[in-house]
């Protein structure tokens, strides 16, 4: 259909929205609030405290079915939860446990695996990270080389992962490893392993990014012995589980709830930055850009709502949301950077350490905004680059 | 509460799509718009639309209509746009009939008689040579006379106005500073001179000169001397949104045509559709359609629910859709190569349709300026509450 | 070098510029002036008269070497001539004789061919057109199928050409034809033939374009007998001559001189079109667009001047000029169209006939501008589309 | 008449390119900018520049210079930008020394002593927290005292200011409505408080507070109380153009690095450079470089010939180059994929250099606004003469 039929609105959802909003306001104390507002690096204990608070409410895994210990949220409820927590600039809902490995475990895991791992994910007692990418693989994930060789009751793992977000905090990692190097297709012969990060032979090396922050890591495996009971599903079928999981990631990546917050921050910055003595919020060019960014966000939200209304979003919707969402994210951050250009683009990365009290140059939000700008240059790269997304639509939806 | 259920909308879409796919398309559009007669569209088609109940979609029950919302009408317009239908559906149903339905007294509702049956076509004359896209610039004067008004002024080119039996015409009541009213003016009124012309895409319309056109007192819609600028603004927002639906149909079709063309055409021993650059271009065209679809849907819902942000949603939809249309239309021609430049192929006609639609009732840049002007108002407010509410 | 060394300026060139400018002002009478200003279709006799006037001055082929009857202009002089005639909106300098087949004939032709054809080109006594493209060939010119079979002293030509500009006015056509269908590469086995348009078996069919104008044609050849003396150079070597010629075309296509005139027209239109009663020339958005278009033009001119200063422009320069020139041309015409949107985009194609005196809707330049807009949608397609130009740079200059 | 012949320019380019390629590059830049010391650039490098005669390129002969134009300096800056040199060449040579050369009395030219030899670094403090990119907004006051002036006010972050031995500082003479003058202020003057910080790309600078900084009467450049806003505007235009040269070097190099990377990196069993979409992206990066090169060349020539449109040419060059830089820098990172995000690879440092350069002395949008403001003036004139002259 050219024109969508309108989805009816559920008034109960507004109540839930208010509940989440209030929770965010109450649970994020002033100290954490200030760190978040400045875009500083949040210490692990604070981040953990927040996630555990969500875990106690059951909200961390609200989108899980009740049989797995979730609350069985509808897609709309999940969206509201994301929207509100993002909009409150709440700490990042690290997806590795709750939307990645958790669903894989409850879908494909053994009863023992479920019993062992799901409670820790629901309560955030265990931090997870994702071991997919490798130095040579880039967008071609299936070309991964990390080897796992069966030896008695163990797999012996050798190889290297890269771009491993939060590996330096993680207790466990879920990995794609090659168990059959002779399989006829590279997508075959891959297995899905859960690995305790404390296992001997694992080395985590920080990977510093453009913003000079430490979010990512390289993870090296040298004769790491992993009990075979940590294999998910069948050996050599790991690619199927990975595909299941990638589909999950693609919709989540848009982070739309954050964008409204960015725009509020931009508006504030425009009001507080002067050009020729007048606030930039009076500048016609910036007003027009702000109006366009708001328009783009409103369209993105409409696309998102329409995609949710479809149940499982189609291939085009998911890819289009990823492409446009990441573009918009970068456009807003670029606009903020253009405002900060008025202050000479000083970048005091030290100011991102909570409690820093050096002498500031420019607005106090500068460092946080510029760090986010640099960090989100990756938004059009990670989770399937914009180019890969277009390939996906071309092949999958247009039959090219 | 929509008058139509989702299922009814689906049925409407299906029947409209089927009708236009079977009985319309670029060739039929060309035959009609280039016809030597005065219409430039299909009278037979218009009759069919009436028979199918489409002309009454948004009309009140008393006028033989089914009281649907703009969403229902948009479903029709999108299907019509997809096949380049040349009939003046939007000027007649959204503007002309919309003005009468919304502003007319009970007695004036009689002007709607015959519309649903396809026997009477309404038109709308508001923009003027000096107005540009601005909606509050009216120089036409309605001078009070003994038994009514005499209208004098110039009206700019308006799609469908050439064939309207009854025109809704804006004019300032009394003098240059008077309130703006909307008047019912018969197409054959003395002193009304219409200059018919085709638009860039062949659809016809007319500019008009009014030289003391005499109308009776009850020709003034609503029968009062209230200023109607706000009402006109709302009507034009609805018309702009209706045009978005037409564009959505046309650009979706233009994308499909182009995709299909590249799948058959070979160059350098390969299908054109195998070149990655062209594939991604097609993908971007498709994404543009999806974005527009979402923005239009949101704006239609806001319109039909009478939401407080209905106007803003319409402006955004028009700006997004007009931009998308520029990209899709332009790339449609580009990807067809030289063939896209010919009058014989359909794609060029989609390009022209989209170009005209882009401009109708305000283009993307003009709408973004409106949105930015709204920023002016917001900029005066302190930023902090925004933060908290965001 | 990152920064070019400045080329010295020759003060004599300004004298020549003034001479051309004055000539244009004198020779273009008021009737022709009005047709040109309105963008109406110029009748052939007027067009011919102008070209003959240039021919008498020797300017039509001023860029030819003196040995071929030219004036031996430097690239700078040629550019000034183009610039001034384009800037005066003088009638189109149809390139088919003077910059296409003429150079091919004086470079590769026999003495007899030169004696027979060059004078008519220099004086514009003979109108030429170009028979390259075919319905199935598109950007892949070498895939052409029109056959020429040697039969005694003649070639017998069968096939079809398309996009043939001015074929309906032309006295002669130069064609690429396939003389050896069995050649191992499609670029081989092609020959370059000169054909008299009055030869029996040639049919010209108008090809109406989006603007509803008749500029292009299809040309059909049915057993057309062409004397073998009209073969240029060697049989089966036609592709070499075509490549020589294509290099010529690519630089000429930018038509930069015209763009300044467009911008003046846009400026006039903005001054004369009102929005809310005020001239659009006061609108900040249009002022900014105008400033950007002028900036782009100034950059394009600088690129052009730098390319000329290099002597033969490099591959990148030529392709970049074509890409950016055609984009800018479309951008200016689109901006004018956006202004005309204020008048409802009425398009009275009949008004393009010189002497039309119907009732106008909107500004009198409307039809001319809109026709040019539609017509120049082809600017990014003809002479090697923007996509093909990028392929050329990728392969030829970046080694990809 | 340029002081340097084309051959001399070529030699300058060759030696500068060779120097920076051999002895600089992202790694060296990183080592210098992240050094714990107060400089964040290379004192040894600065000494080499002096030895190679580069610091005196634009200086008068009397100051040991070779009296070259901005074009010669730009050749140097481009080579320096290509290898991410961290030294404050532009603030010192174009702004600091440029101000003294252009405005200083014969006696004040003594301030240039030691610059060519690399013994003295000049800085420039003009922008303020309330000025944004506007160049005429000065709140700093130079209050006349018995034997000179006392300067009080805040200056915004300025590249190179942290290490300047002598600063050229703008202030209003007498009071808030006084004319703007430029003052020579020693880096160690009492009451001058500098807050050093790195810019986004690591190059350092400082914001400053002046709290009654006492200078003698002859510290006022030119020794008069003339308003220097126009001169400052010209200086900043030249600095903006100098930054364009730096950007041109950096973006040309960023394009090359990216092209080379795609030629080696494989994915899906193919070299990345074989994907048409990526090929065209590289081509567009290259075209952006060519466009900038042409615009910069035209502006430098206009500057060195003192052409009437020299200012406009500089604005255009900055706007075009800043836009090009945004595209080239952004795509450079994008095409490197995840690798482009790492601090280890060079491309990210080019991205950051280009981002800072974009903003320096006014970004693209700000310069286009200046050009559009010029349109305002033109719009007031009748259009017809334009037509004739076009």
- CATH, residue A205: 2.40.110.10
To the question of domain B230-380 being in CATH 2.60.40.420, the answer is: no
Question: Do the chains contact at C208 and B344, CB–CB below 8 Å?
Answer: yes
User: D286: distance to nearest CA of chain C, Å?
Assistant: 9
Catalytic residue, candidates A19, A76, A249, A327 = A249
Are residues A270 and A353 part of one domain?
yes
Distance set, CA C114 to CA B25, C101, C109, D118 (Å): 52, 11, 6, 67
User: B364: distance to nearest CA of chain D, Å?
Assistant: 20
Q: Tell me whether D277 touches chain B (CB under 8 Å).
A: yes
User: A391: distance to nearest CA of chain D, Å?
Assistant: 10
User: B200: distance to nearest CA of chain D, Å?
Assistant: 26
Averaged over C30-35, what is the pLDDT? 95
CA distance B155 to D387: 30
pLDDT tier, C12 (very low <50, low <70, confident <90, very high otherwise): confident
Averaged over B149-155, what is the pLDDT? 98
Is the alpha carbon torsion for C132, C134, C138, C140 positive or negative? negative
CA distance B248 to A138: 37
**Domain B123-228, CATH among 3.40.50.620, 2.60.40.1080, 1.10.645.10, 2.40.110.10:** 2.40.110.10
Catalytic residue, candidates C19, C27, C218, C249 = C249
Pick the closest to residue B166 from B229, B88, B278 (CA basis). B88
Question: Do the chains contact at A302 and B273, CB–CB below 8 Å?
Answer: no
Selected for mutation to probe chain B from C381, C383, C393 (highest B CB count within 10 Å) is: C381
pLDDT tens, residue by residue, C287-328: 999 999 999 999 999 998 888 877 667 788 889 999 999 999
Are residues C184 and C137 part of one domain?
yes
Question: Do the chains contact at A4 and B379, CB–CB below 8 Å?
Answer: no
pLDDT by residue for chain D (390 residues), tens only, comes to 456 888 999 999 999 999 999 999 999 999 999 999 999 999 999 999 999 999 999 999 999 999 999 999 999 999 999 999 999 999 999 999 999 999 999 999 999 999 999 999 999 999 999 999 999 999 999 999 999 999 999 999 999 999 999 999 999 999 999 999 999 999 999 999 999 999 999 999 999 999 999 999 999 999 888 899 999 999 999 999 999 999 999 999 999 999 999 999 988 889 999 999 999 999 999 999 999 999 999 999 999 999 999 999 999 999 999 999 999 999 999 999 999 999 999 999 999 999 999 999 999 999 999 999 986 665 554 443 333 333
Pick the closest to residue A61 from A106, A109, A122 (CA basis). A122
Question: Do the chains contact at D130 and A277, CB–CB below 8 Å?
Answer: yes
User: Which chain D residue lies closest to C24 (C-alpha atoms)?
Assistant: D388
User: D221: distance to nearest CA of chain C, Å?
Assistant: 32
Do the domain assignments include residue C382? yes
Contact criterion met (CB below 8 Å) for B124 and B95 = yes
pLDDT of B386 > 60? The answer is no
Q: pLDDT exceeding 70 applies to what percent of chain C? A: 96
Do the domain assignments include residue C43? yes
- The CATH class given to the B6-120 domain equals mainly alpha
Are residues C283 and C224 part of one domain?
no
CA distance B331 to B283: 11
Q: Tell me whether B277 touches chain D (CB under 8 Å).
A: yes
User: Which chain B residue lies closest to D280 (C-alpha atoms)?
Assistant: B277
Question: Do the chains contact at A393 and B286, CB–CB below 8 Å?
Answer: yes
User: A391: distance to nearest CA of chain C, Å?
Assistant: 18
- Which chains does chain C touch, 3 or more C-beta pairs < 8 A? A, B, D
pLDDT tier, B99 (very low <50, low <70, confident <90, very high otherwise): very high
CA A62 to chain centre: 17
Question: Do the chains contact at D297 and C3, CB–CB below 8 Å?
Answer: yes
User: Which chain A residue lies closest to D157 (C-alpha atoms)?
Assistant: A344
CA distance B347 to B332: 6
Domain boundary assignment for chain D: 6-120, 123-228, 230-380
Q: In the prediction, which pLDDT does C308 show?
A: 80
- Which chain C positions have a beta carbon within 8 Å of B333's beta carbon? 210, 377
Is the alpha carbon torsion for A191, A197, A200, A206 positive or negative? positive
Are residues A386 and A310 part of one domain?
yes
Are residues A281 and A179 part of one domain?
no
Distance set, CA B96 to CA B41, B116, B163, B236 (Å): 18, 13, 13, 11
- Which chain C positions have a beta carbon within 8 Å of A284's beta carbon? 284
pLDDT of C145 > 60? The answer is yes
Are residues C222 and C314 part of one domain?
no
Averaged over C372-383, what is the pLDDT? 94
pLDDT tens, residue by residue, C149-202: 999 999 999 999 999 999 999 999 999 999 999 999 999 999 999 999 999 999
Do the domain assignments include residue C18? yes
Q: Which ipTM did the prediction report?
A: 0.94
Q: In the prediction, which pLDDT does D2 show?
A: 54
Q: How many CB pairs under 8 A join A and C?
A: 3
Contact partners, residue D1, CB within 8 Å, separation at least 6: none
pLDDT tier, B377 (very low <50, low <70, confident <90, very high otherwise): low
User: Which chain A residue lies closest to C283 (C-alpha atoms)?
Assistant: A284
Question: Do the chains contact at A398 and B282, CB–CB below 8 Å?
Answer: yes
Do the domain assignments include residue A181? yes
Question: Do the chains contact at B134 and C207, CB–CB below 8 Å?
Answer: no
Question: Do the chains contact at D137 and A277, CB–CB below 8 Å?
Answer: yes
- Which chain A positions have a beta carbon within 8 Å of B279's beta carbon? 390-391, 394, 398, 400
Q: How many CB pairs under 8 A join A and B?
A: 152
The distance between the two most distant Cα atoms of chain B, rounded to a whole number of Å, is 78
Are residues C332 and C227 part of one domain?
no
Question: Do the chains contact at D375 and C291, CB–CB below 8 Å?
Answer: yes
Question: Do the chains contact at B278 and C387, CB–CB below 8 Å?
Answer: yes
CA distance D54 to D12: 9
| Catalytic residue status for C77 | no
Question: Do the chains contact at B275 and D276, CB–CB below 8 Å?
Answer: yes
Do the domain assignments include residue C247? no
Q: Tell me whether D263 touches chain B (CB under 8 Å).
A: no
Q: How many CB pairs under 8 A join B and C?
A: 139
Q: In the prediction, which pLDDT does A127 show?
A: 98
Nearest to A261 among B78, B383, B390 (CB): B390
* CB neighbour class for D266 (10 Å; exposed up to 12, middle 13-18, buried from 19): middle
Do the domain assignments include residue A120? no
pLDDT of C24 > 60? The answer is yes
Are residues C232 and C268 part of one domain?
no
User: Which chain D residue lies closest to A216 (C-alpha atoms)?
Assistant: D342
pLDDT of C138 > 80? The answer is no
Selected for mutation to probe chain D from C7, C271, C291, C380 (highest D CB count within 10 Å) is: C291
Q: In the prediction, which pLDDT does A107 show?
A: 95
- Which chain D positions have a beta carbon within 8 Å of A361's beta carbon? 157, 195, 197, 206-207
Do the domain assignments include residue C79? yes
CA distance B67 to B97: 12
For the record, the structure tokens of C94 come out as: 């149809």
Are residues A73 and A160 part of one domain?
no
Q: In the prediction, which pLDDT does A318 show?
A: 87
User: B275: distance to nearest CA of chain D, Å?
Assistant: 7
Mean pLDDT over all residues of chain B? 94
pLDDT of C51 > 90? The answer is yes
pLDDT tier, B384 (very low <50, low <70, confident <90, very high otherwise): very low
Number of folded domains that form chain C: 3
Are residues C375 and C284 part of one domain?
yes
Averaged over C343-365, what is the pLDDT? 94
pLDDT tens, residue by residue, B238-252: 999 999 999 999 999
Count of other CB atoms within 10 angstroms of residue B256: 17
pLDDT tier, B388 (very low <50, low <70, confident <90, very high otherwise): very low
- Which chain B positions have a beta carbon within 8 Å of D275's beta carbon? 276
Q: Terminus-to-terminus CA distance in chain D, angstroms? A: 28
Q: Where a domain ends, among C68, C93, C118?
A: C93
Are residues C375 and C273 part of one domain?
yes
pLDDT of C249 > 80? The answer is no
- Which chains does chain B touch, 3 or more C-beta pairs < 8 A? A, C, D
Distance set, CA C31 to CA C34, C51, C90 (Å): 5, 16, 13
Are residues C266 and C218 part of one domain?
no
User: A74: domain range?
Assistant: 11-93
Q: Which residues of chain A have pLDDT under 70?
A: 5-9, 247-254, 311-312
Nearest to A291 among B279, B304, B368 (CB): B368
Pick the closest to residue B73 from B95, B100, B44 (CA basis). B95
Nearest to B371 among A87, A291, A305 (CB): A291
- Which chains does chain D touch, 3 or more C-beta pairs < 8 A? A, B, C
Count of other CB atoms within 10 angstroms of residue C234: 12
Do the domain assignments include residue A32? yes
CA distance A108 to A194: 13
Selected for mutation to probe chain D from A138, A141, A337 (highest D CB count within 10 Å) is: A138
- Which chain C positions have a beta carbon within 8 Å of A285's beta carbon? 288
E strands, chain B, in order: 122-125, 141-145, 148-159, 166-173, 180-186, 192-198, 204-216, 266-267, 270-271
Q: What is the b/e burial string over D63-85, where b = at least 16 CB atoms within 10 angstroms of the residue's CB? A: bbbbbbbbbbbbbbbbbbbbbbb
SS3 at position C140 = coil
Q: Which residues pair with A194 in a beta bridge?
A: A174
């Amino acid at each position: 259909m050219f024109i969508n039929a309108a989805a009816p609105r559920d008034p109960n959802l507004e109540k839930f929205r208010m509940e989440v909003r209030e929770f965010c306001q109450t649970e994020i104390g002033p100290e954490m609030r200030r760190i978040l507002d400045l875009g500083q690096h949040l210490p692990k204990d604070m981040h953990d405290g927040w996630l555990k608070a969500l875990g106690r409410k059951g909200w961390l895994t609200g989108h899980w079915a009740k049989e797995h210990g979730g609350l069985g949220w509808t897609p709309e409820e999940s969206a509201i939860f994301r929207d509100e927590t993002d909009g409150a600039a709440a700490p990042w809902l690290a997806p590795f446990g709750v939307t990645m490995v958790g669903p894989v475990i409850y879908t494909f895991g053994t009863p023992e695996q479920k019993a062992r791992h799901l409670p820790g994910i629901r309560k955030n007692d265990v931090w997870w990270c994702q071991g997919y990418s490798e130095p040579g693989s880039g967008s071609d994930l299936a070309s991964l080389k990390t080897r796992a060789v069966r030896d008695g009751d163990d797999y012996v793992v050798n190889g290297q992962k890269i771009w491993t977000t939060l590996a330096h905090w993680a207790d466990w990692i879920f990995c794609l490893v090659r168990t059959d190097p002779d399989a006829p297709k590279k997508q075959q012969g891959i297995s899905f392993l859960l690995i305790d990060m404390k296992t001997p032979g694992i080395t985590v090396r920080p990977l510093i990014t453009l913003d000079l922050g430490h979010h990512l890591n390289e993870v090296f495996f040298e004769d790491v012995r992993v009990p075979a009971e940590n294999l998910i599903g069948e050996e050599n079928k790991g690619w199927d589980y990975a595909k299941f999981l990638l589909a999950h990631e693609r919709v989540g990546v848009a982070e739309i709830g954050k964008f409204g917050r960015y725009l509020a921050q931009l508006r504030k910055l425009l009001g507080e930055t002067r050009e020729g003595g007048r606030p930039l919020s009076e500048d016609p060019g910036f007003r027009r850009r702000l109006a366009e960014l708001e328009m783009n966000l409103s369209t993105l939200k409409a696309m998102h709502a329409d995609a949710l209304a479809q149940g499982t979003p189609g291939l085009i919707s998911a890819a289009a949301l990823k492409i446009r969402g990441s573009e918009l994210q970068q456009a807003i951050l670029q606009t903020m950077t253009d405002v900060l250009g008025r202050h000479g683009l000083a970048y005091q990365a030290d100011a991102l350490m909570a409690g820093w009290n050096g002498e500031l140059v420019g607005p106090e939000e500068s460092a946080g905004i510029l760090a986010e700008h640099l960090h989100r240059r990756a938004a059009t790269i990670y989770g399937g680059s914009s180019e890969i997304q277009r390939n996906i639509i071309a092949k999958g939806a247009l039959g090219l | 509460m929509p008058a139509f259920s989702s299922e009814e909308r689906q049925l409407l879409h299906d029947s409209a799509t089927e009708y236009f796919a079977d009985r319309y398309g670029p060739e039929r559009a060309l035959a009609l718009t280039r016809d030597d007669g005065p219409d430039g569209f299909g009278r037979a088609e218009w009759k069919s639309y009436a028979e199918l109940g489409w002309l009454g979609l948004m009309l009140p029950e008393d006028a033989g209509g089914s009281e649907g919302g703009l969403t229902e009408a948009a479903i029709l317009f999108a299907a019509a746009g997809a096949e380049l239908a040349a009939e003046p559906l939007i000027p007649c149903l959204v503007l002309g009939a919309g003005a009468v339905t919304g502003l007319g007294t009970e007695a004036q509702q009689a002007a709607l008689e015959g519309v649903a049956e396809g026997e009477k076509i309404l038109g709308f004359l508001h923009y003027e040579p000096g107005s540009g896209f601005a909606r509050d610039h009216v120089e036409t004067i309605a001078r009070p006379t003994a038994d009514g008004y005499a209208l004098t002024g110039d009206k700019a080119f308006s799609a469908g106005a050439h064939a309207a039996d009854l025109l809704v015409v804006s004019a300032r009541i009394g003098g240059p500073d008077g309130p703006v009213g909307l008047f019912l003016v018969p197409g054959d009124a003395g002193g009304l001179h219409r200059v018919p012309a085709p638009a860039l895409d062949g659809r016809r319309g007319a500019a008009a000169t009014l030289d003391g056109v005499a109308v009776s007192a009850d020709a003034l819609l609503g029968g009062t001397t209230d200023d109607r600028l706000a009402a006109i603004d709302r009507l034009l927002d609805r018309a702009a949104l209706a045009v978005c639906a037409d564009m959505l149909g046309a650009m979706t079709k233009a994308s499909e045509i182009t995709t299909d063309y590249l799948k058959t055409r070979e160059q350098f021993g390969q299908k054109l559709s195998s070149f990655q650059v062209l594939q991604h271009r097609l993908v971007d065209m498709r994404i543009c359609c999806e974005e527009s679809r979402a923005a239009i849907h949101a704006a239609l819902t806001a319109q039909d629910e009478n939401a407080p942000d209905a106007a803003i949603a319409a402006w955004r939809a028009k700006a997004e859709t007009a931009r998308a249309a520029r990209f899709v239309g332009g790339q449609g021609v580009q990807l067809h190569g030289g063939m896209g430049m010919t009058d014989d192929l359909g794609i060029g006609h989609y390009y022209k349709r989209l170009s005209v639609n882009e401009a109708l009732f305000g283009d993307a840049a003009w709408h973004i300026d409106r949105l930015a002007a709204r920023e002016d108002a917001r900029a005066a407010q302190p930023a902090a509450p925004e933060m908290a509410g965001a």
